[in-house]
Structure 1
């Protein structure tokens, strides 16, 4: 009789076995989450390390450039901001002119040797950029069609002068920005004077000789 009753009942799964399966599933999920978290932390740590190294490299570049230009910077005729050497346009050129003034040539001559040594040591190239204020070229001097042409010619004048003073021609190029990228308001004379400028910026060069983007 007992055997007949037992034969009619389905076997019952022990509670400890169900609990063990549940714990195993939870442990697997926890391990998976932990692996994902550790992976994200590693990726963030790698990005942070790369950013720190990049900032250190940029700081070293700025320090090296400051040391190379210690003399010209001390005179106050040039500025250095974020690795860009700024020269007030009035030091280099008369108003609406692209003809280099004697003071401007003397200043560029003082910059040539330290910049050439800096470029050679770091395998970089110079970008010489011309800028104007927002007032259009007017008056009797119609040598230039607009501010783009004026800024381009000024950048070329500085580039050619640096080459004449001994800078290798393969170590620099000219760029024109017209009245774009102003550093001050064009609402007053002081701001317009600051915007009429030439900037010289060392730029990393790729191994293939082309320019490397500084993103």
Structure 2
């Protein structure tokens, strides 16, 4: 009788052993999955923390830039529309001149630091655009041939001033638009004064050195001649 019981019990041992192996394998798989999930959560948390930190830094830079612009905005010396900083030509230059006035140079110096910080860690560069009114060149004015030359020289002057104030040379370039893209009517002096301006805007950085050189060459071409039929006349 005992032999029959013992004989019948022998097949059960391998079953329990196999079941134990299966449970061990399942437990191991569960541990691996759990470790993987925890790792993914930690990675996601790390990315989220980095994103939050980056947003906080960007917010702080934006606030610094807004604070730098607060005084000039309140005084009416600059405008801020859709992320473009507009500075009246009367603030920066005397009429028919590309030489910075003291108040204009001081204003650009006050903006250089916040603008540099704003561009830091961003894939953007500053485009300094020069604009003029549509008044004709008066007799005896040999300094500028037309509005394209006037607006180009003013944009270059502002660009150089930013570089001298600490903005990296590779993060700023000049462009000229002559009398194109007016923001007011040229029918009266008040409107023409608004059109004689310099605008500063952050734009996407070119894909590579070749594209950057091409963009710079395009800006230089526009400054010297501009598209056919787009050039205006310099204001004396």
TM above 0.5, yes or no, is yes
**Contact map agreement 1:125 1:172 (CA 8 A) in 2:** yes
The whole-number CA distance in structure 2 between the counterparts of 1:180 and 1:62 is 34
Shift of 1:69: 3.0
Unaligned runs of 5+ in 1: 1-60
1:40-189 equivalences in 2 (<5 Å): 65=62, 67-76=64-73, 77-189=77-189
The whole-number CA distance in structure 2 between the counterparts of 1:143 and 1:66 is 40
The whole-number CA distance in structure 1 between the counterparts of 2:112 and 2:156 is 15
**Contact map agreement 1:62 1:82 (CA 8 A) in 2:** no
* Residue 201 of structure 1 pairs with residue 198 of structure 2: no
Shift of 1:71: 2.4
RMSD value, Cα: 2.3
CA-to-partner distance for each residue in 1:118-155, whole Å, 9 max, x for gaps?
01132310000000001023243321101100000000
Unaligned runs of 5+ in 2: 1-57, 213-236
Shift of 1:83: 1.1
Of structures 1 and 2, the one with the larger relative CO (CA 8 A, separation 6+) is 2
Q: Which deviates further from its counterpart, 69-78 or 80-89?
A: 69-78
**Contact map agreement 2:131 2:180 (CA 8 A) in 1:** yes
CA-to-partner distance for each residue in 1:84-129, whole Å, 9 max, x for gaps?
1100000000001001111100000000000000011323100000
**3-state DSSP class of the match of 2:116?**
helix
The whole-number CA distance in structure 2 between the counterparts of 1:79 and 1:169 is 24
Shift of 1:63: 10
Report the TM-score, using the length of structure 1 for normalisation.
0.65
**3-state DSSP class of the match of 1:173?**
strand
**3-state DSSP class of the match of 2:162?**
helix
**3-state DSSP class of the match of 1:97?**
coil
Aligned to 1:49: none
From the superposition, tell whether residues 203 and 173 of structure 1 become closer, same or farther in structure 2 (CA, over 3 Å).
Answer: same
The whole-number CA distance in structure 2 between the counterparts of 1:108 and 1:131 is 17
The whole-number CA distance in structure 2 between the counterparts of 1:156 and 1:66 is 27
Shift of 1:65: 4.3
**3-state DSSP class of the match of 2:86?**
strand
Residues matched between the structures, number: 152
